[in-house]
Amino acid sequence: MRVSTNTIYETGTSGLVRQSGDLFRLQQQLSTGRRVLAPSDDPVASARALEIEQSKSMNDQFAVNRRDASSALGFAESQIATAGDILATIRERLIQSRSATLADSDRKAIATDIRAMFSEMMGIANSRDAFGDYLFSGYKSTTQPFSGSVEAGVSYAGDDGQREAQVGSNRRLAISDSGANVFMRVPSGNGNFSLTPDPANRGTAVLDAGSVTDMSAWNDPANSGDFEVVFAVSGGVTTYDIIDNASGNSLLTGAAPGGAPLPRTFLPGDVINLRSNGGSEPPFNFGARFSMTGAPADGDRVSMQISTSQSVFETIGDVILALEQPASGDANALAKVSNAIGSAISNIDQSTDNLLTTRARIGARSSELAALDSLGEEVNLQFESSLSNLRDLNYTEALSKLTQQQAYLQAAQQSFLKVSGLSLFNFIGA
């Protein structure tokens, strides 16, 4: 077999280049810490690593979404907490305003103070988040949710939607609450029923908030939840009847209401129970009661109805207008103001409970975000471990190969040097 000098040089050069390339590749692996520098190095590992990187990128995006969601929930909770503080301050001022020693000017001063808090509450309800979206407008994030005044009332222009964020591969979490649920849909009265004196009442009776003592009896299907207590005064004796507005009949007689004297006698401070006292009264028990101080006048009426929704703005606005009415020296007017204050305090308590419920829901979501963050970090560690197993370099093995490759290259260089010296020209002229 003939081997030309040119073939010897080309083969030797090719070997040196290949050995140098292998050594250079090992040096790159050692400098980057990566075993797979190009997909061709390990196609299977490269494809799997690409899939894991895509999953890891999604997990990283979910982490960003959770961070933004946590920020949004934290801001909403702080706003609702501030609203709760305002309601607590208003309640304190209303308790002060019930003092019999206050003059009309004192109550007007308190009303002025509460007007400022009304405006502050409107500002909270119309607050914006860091992106300029209205916090409590539902899906209508660019629409101002609340508008109005004490005199004209407040209307809601948002909707019932809750904006959501994708915080996990299979989890979307609400990051906002509808202003209708937070500020507008507040149960009136004591949460079960509300008491409303007739505006035409002429007496001095002042109502408490009432209560339900037996919830199962209150939920009796026979309970219409719509009653009216009517008072009559004859010969210095006050009597009353309880009328079921659904049937138009008296609960105390089972027949149409009659004239004075009415079935039951009333004394100031008495408790009016929606249950039979026995005797000639038909049997009934709706498990509710309320009491009054002062003295109702002949023909005075009190409406008792199942609680409906009332906005926090309506509650504050109504009591402001009541406090601004002149009442000094007029026992009937003072009773009306006192009833308005008592009703407002009950409604504010319901509004406070509603805000606390909203804060509890936000807190539950925040806790879930924290748990998802912890899980996301664990998943991220698993992705990093998998990528490391697929792509990272085994330094012990690589350093051993580097020494081996250096030996190969040196041997190739020395052998090429020896072979390239074999030439007939070395013997010419000898």
Same domain for 82 and 159: yes
Residues 217 and 232 in one domain: yes
From 307, 323, 352, give the residue that closes a domain.
307
Between 247 and 55, whose confidence is greater? Answer: 247
Q: What is the pLDDT of residues 207-233, one digit of tens each?
A: 999 999 999 999 999 999 999 999 999
pLDDT of 325 above 70: yes
Quick check: is 430 in a domain? no
Asked if residue 8 is part of any domain, the answer here is: no
The verdict on residue 249 lying in a domain is yes
Q: Which residues of 119-130 are buried (b: 16+ CB within 10 A; e: fewer)?
A: eebbebbbbebe
Residues 177 and 44 in one domain: yes
Sequence-distant contacts of 37-43: CB under 8 A, at least 24 apart: 42/390
Domain of residue 155, residue span:
34-188+314-392
Predicted confidence at residue 153, as pLDDT, reads 94
Which is nearest to 367 in space by CA: 112, 91, 152, 74?
74
Q: What is the pLDDT at residue 422? A: 59
69-85: average pLDDT: 94
Residue with tokens 């400098």: 31
pLDDT at 428 (0 to 100)? 65
Whether 297 and 344 share a structural domain:
no
Provide the pLDDT confidence category of residue 66 given band limits of 50, 70 and 90.
very high
Regarding predicted confidence, which is higher, 193 or 421? 193
The angle at the Cα of 428, spanning 424 to 430, to the nearest 5 degrees, equals: 120
Indicate if 57 and 167 belong to the same structural domain: yes
With a cut of 80, say whether residue 385 has pLDDT above it.
no
In the predicted model, what is the mean pLDDT of the chain? 86
Share of the chain above pLDDT 90, in %: 64
Residue 378: exposed, middle, or buried by beta-carbon count in 10 A (0-12, 13-18, 19+)?
Answer: exposed
| 246 shares its domain with 135 | no
Give the pLDDT of residue 30. 58
For the entire predicted model, the pTM comes to 0.80
Cα 292 to Cα 296: distance, rounded to the nearest angstrom: 9
Q: Confidence class of residue 42 from pLDDT cuts 50, 70 and 90?
A: low
6 lies in some domain: no
Q: Residue 347 above 80 pLDDT?
A: yes
User: Are 100 and 224 members of one domain?
Assistant: no
Question: What does each C-alpha distance from 308 to 185, 247, 305, 330 come to in angstroms?
Answer: 8, 21, 8, 31
Quick one: pLDDT band at residue 378, thresholds 50, 70, 90? Answer: confident
> 402, 26 in Cβ contact below 8 A?
yes
Predicted confidence at residue 99, as pLDDT, reads 87
In angstroms, the CA 32 to CA 210 distance is 77
Residue 5, pLDDT score: 61
**274 in the same domain as 181:** no
Q: With pLDDT > 70 as the criterion, what percentage of the chain qualifies?
A: 79
The CATH number of whichever domain residue 377 belongs to comes to: 1.20.1330.10
* Cα–Cα distance, 187 to 354 (Å, whole number): 9
> Residue 398: is its pLDDT beyond 60?
no
Q: Is residue 97 part of a domain?
A: yes
Q: How many domains does the chain divide into?
A: 2
Grade residue 333 by pLDDT with cuts at 50, 70 and 90: very high
Domain annotation covers residue 422: no
Asked if 333 and 72 count as a contact pair (C-beta separation under 8 A), the reply is no
Residue 313's pLDDT band (cuts 50, 70, 90): very high
pLDDT(201) > 90: yes
More confident residue, 42 or 321: 321
302 and 286 part of one domain: yes
| Alpha-carbon distance values, 386 to 206, 216, 391, 398 (Å) | 74, 60, 9, 20
- Residue 26 counted as domain residue: no
DSSP states along 76-87:
HHHHHHHHHHHH
Q: Examine the pLDDT at 335 and tell me if it is beyond 60.
A: yes
Residue 13 has pLDDT above 90, yes or no: no
Q: How confident is the model over 124-156, as pLDDT tens digits? A: 999 998 888 999 999 999 999 999 999 999 999
Q: State mean pLDDT over 9-36.
A: 61
Residues 233 and 162 occupy one common structural domain: no
DSSP 134: B
